[in-house]
Each structure stands twice: as structure tokens, then as C-alpha cells.
Amino acid sequence: MITWQRSGDRGQAFPIYVVALVGLLFAALAFFAIGQASVTRSNAQGAADAAALAAAREARDHLVPGLDLAALKPEDWQDVLGGKRLYLDGGCEKAPGFAAMNDAEATCRRSALSFTVEARTNGTVGDSVIPGTDAMHGTANATAVIEPRCHLGSPPTPTQSPNPAEPGPEKPGPIKIRCRGGKDIDFDPLKPDPWRTLARALFDVRLTD
């Protein structure tokens, strides 16, 4: 009699074990699908971040063609260093290429010194037990900004003609620029450094929150 009861208990418990096992398996697959979605979303964010930074750096490193830095007046330099008037060219054209390196597509828009990128992964979440997620692409946004880090120092002193008996037109003196961290830059309009070199000292590029 006792043996029959134990055998019956085991027979009744078996379907419960099966249901529990199926439930655990489904939960594991669901967590795996969530993990896949998280990875896809992370890939999209990486693509957006890289593309936004690339766009901002490209703009920072290139001036409008034909601009003569030596012709800028001190008040013009004050506006440039403060970011109020930067004669920058392009930037957004770099975003799609950097997104493609991360297997994604990207669109970019610029507003003054800010570059916002929307990225979409080429790949999808893939096969999943969660309906409707297998065809989902990862999407993300990122914004990078060009941030001024310097200000105009003492006003430049015009260079006088070396021969007082034959005075000529005054030549512009060096522009003294003071930057965070105590670094000083002397921009000589007569012997200007390449803008790319100067720009990387004058402006930071970073992602915004």
C-alpha cells in the first residue's frame, strides 16, 4: 500500500517537473533574447558616439576655405576663441563612414558647435522567443560638441619697421592666447602654424550627456 502511494506521487509530480523545466527553458531563452537586444543597442550607441566625435573633430580641424587667419583682428580672435564665431567647414560628412565601421548607418545634423548623430545598426537582434524582436535594429543618438578652452591674452603689439628713417606699414604682432592648465600659445600672423595643429590646442571635442 505504501509503495503504491509513493509511485502515485511520482506520477503526479512528473508533469509538474516538465512544466517547470519548460518554464525555465523559456525564461533562459527570453533572457538570452534580452541580452541580444542589449548588445545590438550597445553596438548602435558605439556607432553613434564614434560618428558624432568624428564629425566634430573634422569640423574643428578645417576652416572655411580661403580664410586668412593673419587678417583677423584681436576682437575677431576673441570671438573665435569663445566659440561665438568659428569659421569652420563641414564635419557631418564624416559621420556615415565612421558609423559604417561599426556596421551601422548614420544621419548627422549640425547646430553651431554641436553635432548630433542618429545611428541604426545594419544587423538585427536575430532569432528570438520574444515575438517581433527578431527583425529589430539597434538605434541610438549621440551628440558631440566643440568646446573652447582658451581666451585672448594681452593685446598684440604691432611690429615697427626696422628702419625708422623709412617707416613702412605696421605689421601685426603675435596673438597671445591663454589656455586651461596654464598653457600659453603665441600665434604669429607672419609665421602661422597650420590650423589643425592650433585647433587641437584651442578646442576640445567631447560627447555630451
**What is the model's pLDDT at position 152?**
87
**What is the model's pLDDT at position 69?**
82
Q: What is the pTM (predicted TM-score) of this model? A: 0.73
Beta bridge mates, 108? 117
pLDDT in tens, the chain (209 residues): 445 455 555 556 656 655 565 555 555 555 555 556 667 788 899 999 999 999 999 999 998 887 888 888 888 888 888 888 888 989 999 999 999 999 999 999 999 999 999 999 998 765 554 555 566 788 999 999 999 999 988 655 555 555 555 555 556 678 889 998 888 888 888 787 888 888 999 999 999 97
Spatial distance between the Cα atoms of 47 and 93, rounded to a whole number of angstroms: 15
**What is the model's pLDDT at position 136?**
79
Q: Domains of the chain: which residue ranges?
A: 17-125+134-157+172-207
Spatial distance between the Cα atoms of 56 and 114, rounded to a whole number of angstroms: 7
